[in-house]
Structure 1
């Protein structure tokens, strides 16, 4: 294989794969380097007891024909190849609480979203309508959300500084409705006094447009993108962990991998944690304000995930997710949990094995977990590519957390333990080792409405030919990371040119 390329992409998460696909389609020679055994970052799946589990992609929004993510994926050549199941149109997400039998639905379609919530809050139509209108108005402030290449993006602090909790509270005084409207904030690890409303709007609105599960997991997205990369002459390599950048002057000339290989390129795109990218730059001189922006960025909280293999024919398949909380205060308070009360909120999603599922084969549950809870095992590492054992104490810790999680789940799914075939758990250390975030943060860096201009990084770094992409650079999630990759590639190809190519692509 040649060891000099037009483009080298470091990391095969969604952002890296989208960048590689776009640039390979444009005729550039592209190489993707991935440290793990499996490509895909948060798109990775794994199999236990013949049951496929997603690690990060439990559902996707905006994939109906003509919608934003569909158009991006259509340009990338994968939209018509995805195996999808549309989720319950009258309630793809259900917000629930202890001691409340109601399941408050998030429905697909703006009018349906309003109507379904008004069934439970008949006197709150004005507030619900106002909330939906505020989401729409904020989404319009982001041109690439609507594939609009004509309007320049404006750093409007009046929009970026709005806090999600404050906007929701301004729409209604009803305590339960406030909790319901904020109830899917595990999608972005919402912090009451920090999270901007635009994060809530961009994350939630995409699913309201249309919500889908990937049949047999989101790993198919990575496989399809890699197929497109190869189709256009690009290369991908696994077990290639980058260990050093070689910078001369103001240019990154080459990089080394831990196996001793050196790869050269004209341009490099880093899809790994920006803090790790900074470390790879070594002692390259940069402004302190730039390095501080990255080094001092707050990581989002991590998670504890429980993967449950169910006995056949025991629990009906549910074509929706649950976001469940102990009470209304827990909607924003779960992120600041006390160990004795953990977990105070969680998300449940079932695996889709076919388009017409009757019985659930497996279910995934995740909740917040701080890195400090596993810090005593921080020196251990364990992946498929590089196996290691964290010790019996760690296994006992996971088992204690599993039992606590099952205790909570049985309040919602009575006698669940009787229907379980096997359970598997992951902690912030699992996420750290596979994804590369230093503390296992789920969604990159914390977005803070109090410091709106620090909420993203420019794709260009202080090294002339080194670009950034991924969830820590701009927005997280499938749509957010895809848009970020388009922004990164725009630095090479030009935004007007690339948006025109994307918009011109039709079925």
Structure 2
């Protein structure tokens, strides 16, 4: 293909699609290259027994008109086209424990968040308010979180080095409340002695503002963004695995794909794992400290996910998620599980089919799983675009883990097994193959408050016209990746100009 583009985006995860949509809207000739059959990365969905399951998007925050994600999506042209179901205002997330009948709620709205928790901890109002205020204060330190173009980013090491575990401990000495305030840390693979407080605040606060499920799955985001890209003259191609960067004179001139095609552009944006990007750069000489930095960064843990198709009309639809743990210690200890104790905790989410669901069609459960548990099959690859069998041993492994997980779910949902029509499982290898992270990491790179600047990457690389975007560059999650994509685009368009355009878009 001899056509030349202004921008080529490699990978069609949310970050890549947001970049491509933004740049196409602003008049650039854009091409998106995707290796898989389906666009979207973690936005992908799949259907089993006519039941739609999300691979990564279980719920969204900040999508009420005027809130941050709504404003970004409104600029992108998709906010009013999304089919959404608002989750339970008084408990969109519920934190639960074995041998404790209480379901501790995370409610929508700051005052409601505090009030609902105070029903269970009436003597802890001051600590709960202090914790919520601390989240608000941290969010204010990130200008793009509030679409604020006036304030500059200040990489305050004291702020970035603040640990969520320590903040919670300062707010309350109540052991159960401490566990509840940390209970949604599966959203970011929290590590007690590492995870910065800003990761928790930016992840949780947008859901407290408003929490939503995507009706019939999050792939609608990818489909809508693709339509916007095409509307503004951009192109998208599937089954295009980039196999080589062609670099000369310090610039990326073109990329080659495994099917023998070459694509040229003035600027390139990589939305794939930065470690994979580094491999594509190959032996081209760039600063060793930069390459060593990327190679040594720790990946977040991966997961085992169980997708349950339920028999019709038997299990009531629950308009909230559950974060369930064996005990208070498991809230932080879950990530360092012993195989004999697995799973120490899990998240449960139900699929939304309509705005007025009475019965659940499907249930998704995920828990942590280390890559080493599936390392025996690491030489195998299996996607829709390039499928192959991993063998009987792998299938037996999944069946064994499925039975263990179902045993745990029966404790929380007695009698669940009799309502199950079918189950399907995915492991770190599934995430590795579809998302491109070398060990199937759920949330990109580990953020470490002990070394706050180590594991974040700037959008610009040591190749002048190669930029990065995606969850490994800055923050994960729908909002985090969207903001990261806007930071990447601002390297091309200018931050002040881009924020002005976003803020001027009519609601």
Contact 2:196 2:448 (8 Å CA) reproduced: yes
Q: Which residue number corresponds to residue 197 of structure 2?
A: 197
What is aligned with 2:354? Answer: 354
Partner of 1:11: 11
Give the TM-score normalised by the residue count of structure 1. Answer: 1.00
Alignment-derived partner of residue 85 in structure 1: 85
1:282 corresponds to:
282
Q: Tell me what 2:213 maps to.
A: 213
Q: Could you tell me how far apart the structure 2 residues matched to 1:502 and 1:292 are?
A: 36
Query: Residues of 2 paired with 1:211 and 1:337: CA distance?
Result: 30
Write the mapping of 1:120-269 to structure 2, written as runs, cut at 5 A.
120-269=120-269
CA contact (8 A) 2:2 2:262 kept: no
Instruction: Kindly report structure 1 stretches of 4+ aligned residues shifted beyond 2 Å.
Output: none
Summarize deviations over 1:388-421 as a string: whole Å, max 9, x none. 1000000000000000000000001111110000
Secondary structure class of the residue paired with 2:264: strand
1:312 aligns with 2:312: yes
SS of residue matched to 2:313: coil
Distance 2:249 2:288 in 1: 19
- Alignment gaps of 5+ in structure 1: none
Q: Distance in 2 between matches of 1:327 and 1:403?
A: 21
Contact 2:163-2:449 at 8 Å conserved across structures: yes
- 1:317-332 aligned at under 5 Å gives the runs 317-332=317-332
CA contact 2:305–2:425 (8 Å) conserved in 1: yes
* Local SS of the residue matching 2:279: helix
- Counting only pairs closer than 5 Å after superposition, residues 34-49 of structure 1 correspond to structure 2 as 34-49=34-49
User: Per-residue displacement from partner, 1:437-478 (whole Å, max 9, x unpaired)?
Assistant: 000000000000000011310100000000000000000000
Which residue is 1:96 aligned to? 96
> What's the CA shift string for 1:145-201, capped at 9, x where partnerless?
000011000000110000010100100000000000000000000001000000000
Counterpart Cα distance in 2 of 1:423 and 1:122:
41
- State the alpha-carbon separation in 1 of the partners of residues 335 and 279 from structure 2: 29
Provide the C-alpha distance between the structure 2 equivalents of 1:333 and 1:460, rounded to a whole number of angstroms.
Answer: 36
Look up the SS of the partner of 1:328 in the other structure. coil
The separation in 1 between residues aligned to 2:455 and 2:136, in whole angstroms, is 21
Q: Distance in 2 between matches of 1:452 and 1:481?
A: 19
State the SS of the aligned residue for 1:165: helix
Alpha-carbon distance in 1 for matches of 2:316, 2:75:
37
Task: Name the counterpart of 2:408.
Answer: 408
Q: What is aligned with 1:474?
A: 474
C-alpha separation in 2, matches of 1:170 and 1:57: 32
Query: What do you get for the CA RMSD once the two structures are aligned?
Result: 0.5
Separation (CA, whole Å) in 2 of partners of 1:4 and 1:263: 7
Matches of 1:427 and 1:506 in 2, distance apart? 43
Q: Runs of 5+ in structure 2 lacking a partner?
A: none
- State the partner residue of 2:378: 378
How far apart are residue 2 of structure 1 and its match? 5.5
Q: Aligned residue for 1:108?
A: 108
| Contact 2:105-2:116 at 8 Å conserved across structures | yes
Q: Are the equivalent residues in 1 in contact too, given 2:106–2:116 (CA < 8 A)?
A: yes
* Matched-pair contact (CA < 8 Å) for 1:3–1:262: no
Give the TM-score, by structure 2 length: 1.00
1:453 is paired with a residue of what secondary structure? Answer: coil
Give the superposition deviation at 1:3: 2.6
* Secondary structure in 2 matching 1:259: coil
Matched ranges for 1:293-308 at <5 A: 293-308=293-308
Task: Check conservation: 1:164, 1:197, Cα contact below 8 A.
Answer: yes
